Structure 1
Amino acid sequence: MKTEQKDLIKATVPILKEHGVLLTTHFYNRMFSHNPELKNMFNMGNQQNKKQQTALAMAVLAYAENIENPSALFPVVDSIGHKHTSLDIRPEHYQIVGKHLIASIAEVLGDAALPEILDAWSAAYSQLAQLMSGHEASLYSNQVKKTGGWTGWRPFLVKDKTEESAEITSFYLYPTDGGAVADFTPGQYISVRLFLPELNLLQPRQYSLSNTPNGTYYRISVKKEKGSVHPDGIISNRLHDTIKVGDVIDVSAPAGNFVLNVTVDTPVVFISGGVGQTPLVSMLETLIKQEHQQPITWIHGCRGEHVHAFKETIAAWSEKSNQLNSHIFYDVLESDSTDSNIHEGWVNLDLLDETILQAKTKYYICGPATFIRKHFEFLTAKGVDKSTIHFEEFGPASLQLHGN
């Protein structure tokens, strides 16, 4: 890009801060109107609740702010790249997106969309598309190099369903071709794709892998969204209510960069809310199997004992490992308990200062955005280095905490 074009991009930053969501909302409406087939690749629930529009607006703003040094955005590029490969996004899709993005800028800005501004954004988008598609090409290449690896969608058999709590059920997925399945790094997810007759669309959703790699099958543990009649929870509910043992579903290869660092021998603290524990269960099981020699602290919060998934599993691991110490927080205690590690109320790290604030500790947090922000800010206020705090927000990213 020319220096003058970069200056024009930077000059649009105030506009993006004020009108970014308006622009991205117009963009998605335009793209789906002209290319309705792309609705099969996007989570339409996140279109309804505006999460996707907000996430894209934040990404475009971050790119404009860092136009002089796009490499500074690599952590974001990597995270989005993993999501794209899990959805089978290919270079041709960038061409479609670019066409509608530039047209949307012109239509939203109106007379302010001078030709030189549109040219600058066309050059900027071309640079971004090359950066993203190049990184995704390397991710795809790494996937197929693995034993049992693949790209795109692969049919898997639902071989078993196991209720983990009143809300969460685990699904055991085996490839229909009988081949091996690629190993993954604990914390990663897969995409599952189902056809929804009521929308006449294929719809993908990401679910964390809740077991350790075994080369034979994947396990996802899915929360049923009670009362949900819109696309935001419709896939999870379809898995619970309609998908039976013996059914076949489409699955993409494991992806994601919220992963356990298995090479560092340090204390580890896991902090989860609700179904946010699923990727952390995979991480914890890995440490148990490796006989991790440093302290491990498991902190989990949920509404009550009846919705507490993997309770017996964690208890059994605690018996097996002298290093594991668990603390459970229930919004409401449903029965009397003499266990000092069971607490009433929301997760409160103040109660665990001495346990979790050890030198060189690695922290992994997963749950809703407000849950992550609360505990991230608690840890940093206590002097914890942000680089040691790793987190994943379910759904399109909205947090700008500069951790991970």
Structure 2
Amino acid sequence: MLSESSAAVVAATLPAVQAHGEAITGRFYQRMFDAHPELLDIFNRSNQATGQQKAALAAAVVAYAEHLTGDGTAPWGPILDRIAHKHASLGITATQYTIVGRHLLAAVGEVLGDAVTPAVAAAWDEVYWLLACELIAREARLYTGAGVPENASVWREWRVAEKVRETVDVVSFTLVPADGGPAPAFTPGQYVSVAVDLDGGRGQQIRQYSLSGRPGATHWRITVKRVRGAAGAPDGMVSTVLHERVAVGDTLRLSPPFGEVSAIGEAGPVLLVSAGIGLTPAMAALEHLAATDPERPVTLVHADRSGAAHALRHELPGLQERLPNLSVRLWYEDAADGELAGLKAEVADGLIDPARIPLAPGAGVHLCGPVPFMALVRGGLLRRGVPAERIAYEVFGPGMLRG
């Protein structure tokens, strides 16, 4: 809990910090990377280039300060869990919080100048370390649960056993531990980080990919969409390497599985709603239920550009045979494919209409796809009376889903 004296100072200075939030976080990243260029191997350089990361950090710091002073409404437990899982998948260490804190608070002083008195600096230092200590504790528990020894690396070598082109822009990789050990169990909805080396000795980059195969198998599967640059943006760093340079027999560095969101819940009907490459956790969920609880009522609702762009579509008929209570609804922007593999799709003008999503009483919902898509669907389901706590979702990238 924030001390009473610091709470008063933070409340008084919060408007100024909020007004200059992105300037502060922009200066913070510049300072930190100048002093510790090795941290560029951890942070997503694409999000740095677009400004998404600094905007997300500024919003998070302000929202947490509001939470501590009693002015915020964000449910901070789930938010902290989500951040901790992402950090654990990157191998963030407790000592790195000291680096971040030093440069973040220095950036506050540089941007706000004389307004940052010793009392103001002390109050915001308290805010930062309350947040940091909560995350450090959560991440320590995650490392222990994943079997990662204290101060050890999260990375393990995995060998590519199979590479399958699913669509023009989507490839699946079947991966087995290079050391011959077992593949750790995971929950449908969890993801792994994949670290790849960049050309020219430019370090590494890390991205998260949902596990798209059956939990409990002797191997893992990830299904990767190639990110093609648009409107002047570059192609995706990691997805391009995976598509163009990684072949069967190569090795990749992967983290243990993390992610606090389960795609199947504990009991009752399941509603899986996905768009584009967001189908990957849904496929893991269907495979898991087919193997462990085949009578469970499941509805899959998926939106895509077309049948040709719908990765892993060919697996759905087999899953329908193994899951007698599985209902599949597909929406395509271009339904020129008609019927493929016995599956029909409706024509969708843009995104799915949430009012037309089949909804069983008491269903647990899992969403995965672009943020605007998830926001639309979640808002529609909330209006239809689905409690917020029954709607799980995963956001890849900075920021959180609101509303």
Q: Which runs of 5+ in 2 are unaligned?
A: none
Contact 2:26/2:54, CA 8 A, preserved across alignment: yes
For residues 200-230 of structure 1, what are the alpha-carbon distances to aligned partners after superposition, in whole Å with 9 as ceiling and x for unaligned?
Answer: 1111111110012235321100001234796
Q: Say which of 98, 104, 108 aligns to 2:101.
A: 98
Q: Say which of 82, 86, 90 aligns to 2:89.
A: 86
State the partner residue of 2:317. 315
State the partner residue of 1:251. 254
Q: Say which of 343, 366, 369 aligns to 2:368.
A: 366
CA distance in 2, matches of 1:273, 1:143: 30
The residue type paired with residue 173 of structure 1 is L
Larger deviation, residues 222-231 vs 192-201: 222-231
Q: Say which of 125, 129, 143 aligns to 2:132.
A: 129
Aligned residue for 1:307, secondary structure, equals coil
State the partner residue of 2:329. 327
Q: What displacement does 1:294 show?
A: 3.8
Q: What displacement does 1:76 show?
A: 1.1
Alpha carbons of 1:151 and 1:38: their partners in 2 closer, same or farther (altered >3 Å)?
closer
Q: What displacement does 1:397 show?
A: 2.5
CA distance in 2, matches of 1:370, 1:391: 12
Residue 240 (structure 2) pairs with residue 237 (structure 1): yes
State the partner residue of 1:13. 14
Percent identical:
35
Aligned residue for 2:140, secondary structure, equals helix
TM-score normalised to the size of structure 2?
Answer: 0.92
Contact 1:180/1:215, CA 8 A, preserved across alignment: no
Q: What displacement does 1:231 show?
A: 6.4
State the partner residue of 1:34. 35
Alpha carbons of 1:263 and 1:335: their partners in 2 closer, same or farther (altered >3 Å)?
closer
Larger deviation, residues 121-130 vs 179-188: 121-130
Residue 153 (structure 2) pairs with residue 141 (structure 1): no
Q: Say which of 280, 285, 309 aligns to 2:282.
A: 280
Larger deviation, residues 18-27 vs 75-84: 18-27
1:157-306 map, 5 Å: 157-198=159-200, 200-214=202-216, 216-227=218-229, 233-264=236-267, 266-306=268-308
State the partner residue of 1:348. 352
Contact 1:44/1:231, CA 8 A, preserved across alignment: no
Q: What displacement does 1:6 show?
A: 1.6
Aligned-residue Cα RMSD (Å) equals 2.3
Q: What displacement does 1:291 show?
A: 3.1
Contact 1:361/1:388, CA 8 A, preserved across alignment: yes
State the partner residue of 2:45. 44
For residues 339-393 of structure 1, what are the alpha-carbon distances to aligned partners after superposition, in whole Å with 9 as ceiling and x for unaligned?
Answer: 784101234335635x32x321111111111001111111111122111111112
Q: Which runs of 5+ in 1 are unaligned?
A: none
State the partner residue of 1:153. 155
The residue type paired with residue 130 of structure 1 is C
State the partner residue of 1:61. 62
